[in-house]
């Protein structure tokens, strides 16, 4: 749920950083439930871990620069020794080559390890921020576990995305809406695909999803992509062809969007 404020100064100071400005000039913040608070704490812990790893990476890079400066100083000393004939050219070249190779390998290995750890944790943070939030809201609304992945994918097609690490819904113009995940999965979405919810009495029958029998909701008999249908078109298609036909259309679209097209 969201709590609205007419002015930014009305928002508690400790919550101002999480506020989102709406189209009408008002501000909104998410009201945190117990489950959401626990999830937010988990996300914050992961983000802090990522920040710490990045600081460690910066430390490695600083150490590398310091090592290079020491190498330059060593080179000057070696040059001085060469001038006095204390070492041979071959010995100096061999020593410097080995030292440089060992230094570069140690730096590269350390940086690569930190990059890998940061990438893995960043992916986990993104998953917590969007996929897990949407999936949990769908399940809480009575959604079927078997339809969880499709519900998340459809929610993203319908405008759910991340803004400053928070799951929000945007309209076609890119404006942030005040719709909550609970509102989304218990409202029109549930009416459009009731068979995705546990306890649904939808029969699951239907045709092959072709343009035939699409009804008057489709101008000129043209069948839009499943994710592009309006609520009216979606209902008309499901009523005419059955919920399974709509699911097949959505599946084909999701597969097509995830499959790279071949270059001719």
| Per-residue pLDDT reduced to its tens digit, 234-243 | 877 877 787 7
pLDDT band at 202 (very low <50, low <70, confident <90, very high): very low
Average pLDDT across the chain, whole number: 78
Mean pLDDT across 195-202: 74
pLDDT band at 215 (very low <50, low <70, confident <90, very high): very low
Domain-embedded: residue 8: yes
Residue 24 shares a structural domain with residue 41:
no
Residue 88 shares a structural domain with residue 2:
no
Alpha helices in the chain (DSSP H): 34-84, 89-126, 132-140, 148-157, 181-186, 188-192, 231-241, 243-258
Cα-only R_g, the chain: 29
Greater confidence (209 vs 108) lies with 108
Greater confidence (196 vs 28) lies with 196
The sign one gets for the Cα dihedral 190, 191, 196, 199 is positive
pLDDT band at 114 (very low <50, low <70, confident <90, very high): low
Domain-embedded: residue 152: no
Residue 245 shares a structural domain with residue 195:
yes
Greater confidence (144 vs 14) lies with 144
Domain-embedded: residue 170: no
| 3-state SS, residue 52 | helix
pLDDT exceeds 80 at position 84: no
Residue 6 shares a structural domain with residue 97:
no
Number of domains in the chain: 3
Domain boundary (140, 164, 198) is at 140
Residue 197 shares a structural domain with residue 248:
yes
Residue 133 shares a structural domain with residue 195:
no
Mean pLDDT across 53-73: 87
Residue 23 shares a structural domain with residue 49:
no
Greater confidence (170 vs 84) lies with 170
Domain-embedded: residue 116: yes
pLDDT exceeds 50 at position 244: yes
Give the percent of the chain with pLDDT over 70. Answer: 76
Residue 23 shares a structural domain with residue 44:
no
Domain-embedded: residue 156: no
pLDDT band at 32 (very low <50, low <70, confident <90, very high): low
User: Nearest 10 degrees: CA dihedral of 187, 193, 194, 198?
Assistant: -100
pLDDT exceeds 60 at position 55: yes
Residue 93 shares a structural domain with residue 111:
yes
Q: What are residue 95's phi and psi, to 5 degrees?
A: -65, -45
Domain-embedded: residue 145: no
Greater confidence (97 vs 187) lies with 187
Mean pLDDT across 96-121: 74
Query: Domain of 220?
Result: 178-257
- Model pLDDT, residue 207: 38
The pair of structure tokens assigned to 255 is: 């597969």
- Model pLDDT, residue 159: 92
Domain-embedded: residue 166: no
Residue 135 shares a structural domain with residue 40:
yes
pLDDT band at 119 (very low <50, low <70, confident <90, very high): low
pLDDT exceeds 90 at position 14: no
Residue 3 shares a structural domain with residue 44:
no
Residue 26 shares a structural domain with residue 49:
no
pLDDT exceeds 60 at position 201: no
Domain-embedded: residue 182: yes
């Amino acid at each position: 749920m969201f709590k609205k404020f007419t002015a930014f100064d009305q928002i508690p100071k400790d919550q101002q950083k999480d506020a989102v400005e709406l189209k009408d000039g008002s501000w909104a913040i998410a009201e945190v439930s117990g489950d959401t608070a626990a999830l937010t704490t988990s996300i914050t812990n992961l983000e802090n871990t990522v920040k710490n790893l990045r600081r460690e990476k910066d430390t490695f890079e600083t150490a590398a620069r310091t090592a290079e400066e020491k190498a330059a100083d060593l080179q000057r000393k070696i040059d001085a020794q060469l001038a006095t004939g204390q070492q041979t050219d071959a010995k100096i070249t061999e020593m410097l080559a080995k030292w440089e190779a060992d230094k570069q390998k140690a730096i590269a290995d350390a940086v690569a390890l930190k990059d890998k750890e940061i990438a893995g944790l960043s992916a986990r943070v993104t998953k917590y921020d969007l996929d897990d939030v949407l999936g949990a809201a769908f399940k809480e609304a009575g959604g079927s576990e078997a339809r969880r992945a499709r519900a998340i994918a459809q929610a993203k097609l319908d405008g759910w995305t991340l803004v400053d690490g928070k799951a929000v819904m945007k309209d076609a113009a890119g404006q942030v809406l005040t719709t909550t995940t609970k509102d989304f999965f218990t409202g029109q979405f549930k009416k459009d695909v009731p068979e995705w919810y546990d306890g649904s009495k939808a029969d699951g029958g239907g045709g092959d999803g072709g343009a035939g029998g699409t009804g008057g909701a489709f101008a000129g008999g043209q069948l839009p992509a499943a994710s592009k249908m309006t609520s009216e078109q979606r209902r008309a298609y499901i009523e005419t062809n059955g919920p399974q036909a709509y699911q097949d259309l959505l599946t084909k679209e999701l597969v097509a969007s995830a499959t790279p097209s071949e270059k001719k």
